[in-house]
Amino acid sequence: MSPNVLKVGLIGFGLSGRYFHAPFLAVHPGFRLAKVVSSRPADVAAFDPTIETVASVDDLLADDSIQLIFICSPNETHFHYARAALEHHKHVVIEKPFALNEPETNQLLDLAEKRGLVAVAFQNRRWDADFLTIKRLLADDRLGNVLDYEARYDRLMLVSDLQSWKEQSGEGHGSLFNLGPHLIDQALHLFGPPESVWADIRVIRPNSQVEDCFTIRLNYPDTQVTLKSSLMVHQNERRFLLHGTAGSFSKGGLDTQEPLLRQNRLPGTHDWGREPEAQWGLLTHDGESERVESVPGNYMAFYDGLYDSVVHRAEPVIKPDEIRQIARVLALAKQSSHTGRRLPY
C-alpha cells in the first residue's frame, strides 16, 4: 500500500457507515477501509470481504496502523469515541451531531489542535445538488441581496420501532440533532453567524418519545433565515425558497445521491449526482420564470478535502470555527425553545 494511502477504521455499519462512507472510501484512491466495528460482520463481508470486522472500539483503537477513524455510532457515543481516537493519535470524522453540546465540541477541537490532528464534522449536505445550485446563483448575483431564506428537511416517519435508539428519549436524540446540523450548517455557510436565534422544538407524532418537529429562525441585519423540519409531512417535496432584491428561487426534491447509494451504486458512475429536469428549481425575476439546471451533487468533494487536510495539511474542509458555530446555534435553539425567547448569538 502506498504510504500516501490512509488506512481507515469505521465505527458502525448502519445507514451512515454502510451507505454514506464505505462506498466513497472504497473508490477513493487515497483511502483504504481496513477495519469496521460492527455487530453485523455478514453485512461488512457482503460489501467487501477484505475488510476486517472487530467486536469493539478498543480493538480498533489498539491498531497502530489505523490513521483515520469515522464515527457513525449513536449520537451519545460520539464524544467519547472521538476523544479516545484522538488520544490514540488518530484523525477523526464524526457524523452529525459532532458532539452533544458546546463544551464537548470545544474539548474535541482543542484536543485535535493540541495533537496536530484533524477532527472534522461530516457535513455532506454542503454538496447536495440543490445547495450547490443556490451557491452558484448567489455567486452569479442572480438573486441580488437575499432578504428571506427558508430551508426545509421534512419526512414522513411514523413511529414503528420504539426499540431503535433513534426513537428512544435521550440527550442528543430527535430531529434537532439528526437533521438540524445539516440545515444549520448550510445557513451558516452562506450567511455566517447570526445576530440572534429563536426556535420552537416539539413532539408531534403519535407515540413519539423524541422531539420530531422544529422551526429555527436565524436573524441577520438584512436577512431572515428560517429552518424547518417535521417527521409528519405527507407531501415533503419543498426544500428551499429564497427571495432577494433581484429575484426568487424555489426548489423541491431531495438530492439523488442517497437513493443511488442505497441501490448499491458506487460514486463516480455515469451521471452521478445529476438531477432530472423535473427536479430543477424555478428562478423568477423581472416578471419571468425559468428552470435552472441543477449543479450535480458531489459528496466525493468532502473526501477529497479530507484527504488533503490529513496528508497535505490543507485547511479542513469543514473548519473548526464552523463546527463551533453549529454547536452554538444548537445550544441556543434548545434554550430558546425552552424559554420562549429570542436569544443573542
Cα–Cα distance measured from residue 273 to residue 127, given in angstroms and rounded to the nearest whole number = 10
pLDDT in tens, 145-162: 999 999 999 999 999 877
Average pLDDT value for residue range 286-309:
97
246, three cell numbers: 433581484
Instruction: Tell me if 237 sits within 8 A of 250, measured CB to CB.
Output: no
- Model confidence pLDDT, tens digit, residues 19-60: 999 999 999 999 999 999 999 999 999 999 999 999 999 999
| Residue 1 pLDDT > 60 | no
Instruction: Write out 239-279 in H/E/C secondary structure.
Output: EEEEEECCCEEEEECCCCHHHHHHCCCCCCCCCCCCCCHHH
pLDDT at position 134, please?
Answer: 98
Among 12-21, 164-173, 310-319, the least confident range = 164-173
Q: Which amino acid is at 225?
A: V
In whole numbers, what is the pLDDT of the chain averaged over residues? Answer: 96
Q: What's the whole-number mean pLDDT along residues 307-313?
A: 97
Q: Per-residue DSSP letters for 199-218? A: EEEE--STT--S--EEEEEE
Coil vs helix vs strand at 344 = strand
Phi, psi angles (nearest 5°) of residue 33: -75, 110
According to CATH, the topology of domain 6-122 is Rossmann fold (3.40.50)
Q: What is the pLDDT of residue 339?
A: 98
pLDDT higher than threshold 90 for residue 108: yes
Query: pLDDT category, 78, cuts 50, 70, 90?
Result: very high
Going from the C-alpha of 205 to that of each of 156, 208, 209, 211, 342, the distances in angstroms are 10, 5, 9, 9, 26
Residue boundaries of the structural domains of the chain:
6-122, 125-301+329-344
Residue 275: pLDDT above 70?
yes
- Confidence category of residue 170, pLDDT binned at 50, 70, 90: confident
Q: With 90 as the cut, is the pLDDT of residue 2 above it? A: no
Homologous superfamily of the 125-301+329-344 domain (CATH) = Dihydrodipicolinate Reductase; domain 2 (3.30.360.10)
C-alpha cell at 34: 481496513
pLDDT tens digits, one per residue of 209-251: 999 999 999 999 999 999 999 999 999 889 999 999 999 999 9
